[in-house]
Structure 1
């Protein structure tokens, strides 16, 4: 692990908010030249502190007004491999995230749908037909706030 100074931490916070910012713009903001900023970002990438950048889409603007978190308990872990379940569930386009977790459920899924009727269709025709599916609990997302990551 590399030592991070306050400029590194500031760069990480700024990139976490908007990863499309240029090294030149970030450099001006933090009193660095564009090449010095680029080198710092490259060092953070090489150290695997920055492992990628992603595009965040407005699901509602794209017509997906409902987000549901599903708790999934597999019926019989011995009969179906976790890999088979994971392969099948990740093939469902409405499933945005799959988390293998400890606790009451084996998996937590983030599912998007156009509306509740569309979610019911996805649940009945896609999720409930997955290999090894057992109990499922649904929690509809009411609102979401972005929390900054753990950058000390």
Structure 2
């Protein structure tokens, strides 16, 4: 599926997604036209889904991150979908993950401080539908956070 040239392009793109096609091509030692065609092919096949700005929410004044492990009340047939739809509407929920096992969902929640977190928790999280149990894990430090793939 991917050859060595595709991998080289992806490594350089992950290292600096702001590179122009010409600069990316130069770093990969290929022509800009070849680089552009390869990128277009990887985008159309879904390998490269897009480029986005990664904003440091801590730099914007958010100092608290909590991982909430949620167990769903499984007595309602549409409970799962309704819970996810409602959680998507909470601006402080950055990520929603679903699991098989004892825990059904994980919500990653940010807040400016503990008082703000308490408000979000009481007013927005506890009012989400179909929750049977919540376990909160307060983030102490992020040891590794890497979006780059080992290509």
Contact 1:79 1:132 in 2 (8 A): no
Mean Cα deviation higher: 107-116 or 139-148: 139-148
Residues 47-102 of structure 1: CA deviation (Å, up to 9, x unaligned)? 11112222110111111111111101112342542111111000000001111111
* Structure-1 separation of matches of 2:111 and 2:49: 29
Aligned to 1:22: 20
In the aligned structure 2, how far is the partner of 1:44 from the partner of 1:90?
Answer: 29
Instruction: Determine which of 71, 74, 79 is the counterpart of 2:72.
Output: 74
Judging changes above 3 Å, is the alpha-carbon distance between structure 1 residues 69 and 6 closer, same or farther for their aligned structure 2 residues? same
Distance 1:80 1:124 in 2: 23
Name the stretch that deviates more: 5-14 or 24-33: 5-14
8 Å contact kept, 2:62–2:112: yes
Shifted more, 7-16 versus 52-61: the winner is 7-16
Q: Show the counterpart of 1:55.
A: 53
Could you list the runs of 4 or more consecutive aligned residues of structure 1 that deviate by over 3 angstroms after TM superposition? none
Question: Partners of 2:113 and 2:12 in 1: how far apart?
Answer: 34
Instruction: For residues 16-52 of structure 1, give each alpha carbon's deviation from its aligned partner in whole angstroms, at most 9, with x where no partner exists.
Output: 3332221111111110122211111111011111122
How many residue pairs match? The answer is 149
Q: Once structures 1 and 2 are overlaid, which stretch shifts more, 70-79 or 82-91?
A: 70-79
Helix, strand or coil at the partner of 1:54? coil
1:36-51 paired onto structure 2 within 5 Å: 36-51=34-49
| Structure 1 counterpart SS, 2:106 | strand
Q: Please, what TM-score do these two structures have when normalized by structure 1?
A: 0.89
